[in-house]
Amino acid sequence: MSQRAEDELKQKIRKGYILESPEEMTPGYRKAIIVQLTVQADTELMSAPAYWLAARHAPSTNTQVSAHAIIQDELAHANIAYRLLEDMGVSKEHLVYGREPNEFKHPYGFDQPLDNWAELVVANGFFDRAGICLLGDVHRNTSYGPLKRALIKVDMEETFHLRHGEVWMRRLARAGGAATELLQRCVDWMFPMTIEWFGLPDDLKRHSGQLDYKLKGLTNDELRQLWMSSTVPLCESLGLSVPAHYDAAAEEYVLDYPFPCEYDPEEKRWLFEDGKISWSAVFERWKGRGPMNERYVESVRRSRGAVSSWLN
Amino acid sequence: MSGARGGLAESVYEVFARKTRGEPLRHIGYIDAPGDELARVYAWKTYDEENWFEMCVVPRGAVMPVNRTDGPWAANRPGRKDGAG
Ligand SMILES: [Fe+2]
Ligand SMILES: [Fe+2]
């Protein structure tokens, strides 16, 4: 199909046109939405084993229930996103069961181990907040009707995940002593992890079509600012220090560390002292995947072959 | 369907629900399931974001479009043999 068809579709979308079926997509639109939905589906799916292994650290039967309710939600969100892809002719079977672990498209943050209850609740407070920023923006702006409708449920549930994270962060912050120290350590590695999640700054971003096709409404930097505008005040109100502050003159949040920078996954520590690195070095690290990548992927699919053979 | 293997093969069901009496039944989503019984369970468990007054599932292959020739149900138009589901 021609550039003219692409331009015509973009023109219609600018005027508010909503696509209702894959047949209405141009090749450019189709390619862009498949990339977007694959990232979305993989992120939902990989959050489940990350939270699942961490849920062992839940301190009571009640918190076990809430932690597992979140995991259940994430798996449902993943299923919904893979179904949207399947309706475009992309095989879920291949995406979930046919790829190498390092071919999944979730953010690097969900390749990291969550080693205690504090890390799980900060993940809910930070990572699920990032999910709300990203998917809430898609929900408000997307030109694809089936996705817009699917995100109603997702947004409702993500808000619950976030509340779970914030309530528990508050409890741990109020406790003082070891609890607060642990919380601060979580913030130290998970704050920059989420900042990096939003990707390339706008001045470096190659043109992707996502905005032209209205698959989203905000740029990477705008989404990063949106996340900080909730997260920085939250942490400050809890007495936690974050490596960012609000610059009243510039009317935006400013990072107080070299961005992007290198990360030591064994130590769970950002190497601020080594200074700024290039984005191609960041992409290399992402491509190499983090320490839990294989374990998380295998944990959602390890028994498929065996059970499938019993049923045949 | 869609390349799923043998005993674990699943097909698509459309999920309809209403929150309260007097409200229209609305299409709220879809799920993949290996049969009608599990489709009912999966739908109830997956779409648990509301206290639904009523929920139903319909095999995708049973939904027949009246006017549209595109979208997920187009394959079920009478006369087409490549039916979905
Ligand atoms: Fe989710
Ligand atoms: Fe979530």
Q: In Å, how far is B78's CA from the nearest CA of chain A? A: 19
pLDDT, tens only, A203-235? 998 777 899 999 999 999 999 999 999 999 999
Model-level ipTM above the cut of 0.85: yes
CB contact under 8 A, A86 and B2: yes
Q: Which ligand is nearest to the CA of A77?
A: 1
> Which phi and psi (to 5°) does residue A244 adopt?
-160, 155
Query: Is A24–B5 a contact, with Cβ atoms under 8 angstroms apart?
Result: no
The better pLDDT of the pair A206, A35 is held by A35
Is B83 a member of any domain?
A: no
Rg of chain B, C-alpha, whole Å: 14
Which domain CATH number covers B52? 3.10.20.520
Can you list the alpha helix ranges (DSSP code H) found in A142-207? 145-175, 177-197
Instruction: Quote the CATH superfamily of domain A8-302.
Output: Ferritin, core subunit, four-helix bundle (1.20.1260.10)
Ion ligand 1 neighbours (CB, 5 A) are A 44, 74, 77
Are A6 and A60 within 8 A, CB to CB?
Answer: no
Closest CA–CA distance from residue A93 to any residue of chain B (Å): 6
pLDDT at B7: 78
Nearest to A209 by CA among A81, A26, A38: A26
Out of B29, B72, B74, whose CB is closest to A80? Answer: B29
Which residue among B49, B70, B71 sits closest to A153, beta carbon to beta carbon? Answer: B49
B79 close contact with A: CB closer than 8 A: no
Q: Establish if B38 belongs to a structural domain.
A: yes
| A110: closest CA of chain B, how far (Å) | 23
Report which bound ligand comes closest to the CA of A130: 2
pLDDT value of residue B84: 44
Number of domains forming the structure of chain B: 1
- To the nearest whole number, what is the mean pLDDT of chain B? 88
Write out the residue range of the structural domain in which residue B13 sits: 8-76
Of B8, B12, B70, which has the smallest distance from its Cβ to A311's Cβ? B8
Q: Would you call B29 and A308 a contact, using CB atoms and an 8 Å cutoff?
A: no
Q: A153-192, pLDDT tens digit by residue? A: 999 999 999 999 999 999 999 999 999 999 999 999 999 9
Is B53 within the bounds of a domain?
yes
Question: Is position B46 within any domain?
Answer: yes
Name the least confident of A228-242, A294-308, B37-51, B68-82. Answer: B68-82
Taking residues A113-118, report their average pLDDT: 98
- Cross-chain residue pair B2–A92, CB shorter than 8 Å: yes
B41 part of a folded domain? yes
CA separation, residue A6 to residues A26, A29, A32, A130 (Å)? 6, 8, 12, 31
Give residue A76 CA to ligand 1 midpoint distance, Å. 8
User: Would you state the pLDDT for residue A23?
Assistant: 96
Which positions in chain A touch B30 (Cβ < 8 Å)? 80, 83
Name the pairing type of β-strands B26-33 and B11-18.
Answer: antiparallel
Do residue B30 and residue A94 have CB atoms under 8 angstroms apart?
no
Task: Flag whether residue B35 sits within 8 Å of chain A, measured between CB atoms.
Answer: no
Alpha-carbon gap, residue A24 to A83, rounded angstroms: 18
Cα Rg for chain A, rounded, in angstroms? 20
Distances in Å between the Cα of A229 and the Cα atoms of A104, A127, A224, A241, A252 are 29, 14, 9, 15, 9
Residue B3, pLDDT above cutoff 60: no
Instruction: Give the span between the Cα atoms of A276 and A201, in whole angstroms.
Output: 14
Is the pLDDT at B5 greater than 60, yes or no?
no
- Does A11 have pLDDT greater than 70? yes
Q: Which of B1, B2, B12, B63 is the best mutation test for A, with the most CBs of A within 10 A?
A: B2
B84: in domain = no
Domain spans of chain A? 8-302
> Measuring CA to CA, how many Å separate A87 from each of A94, A146, B11, B64, B84?
14, 10, 12, 17, 11
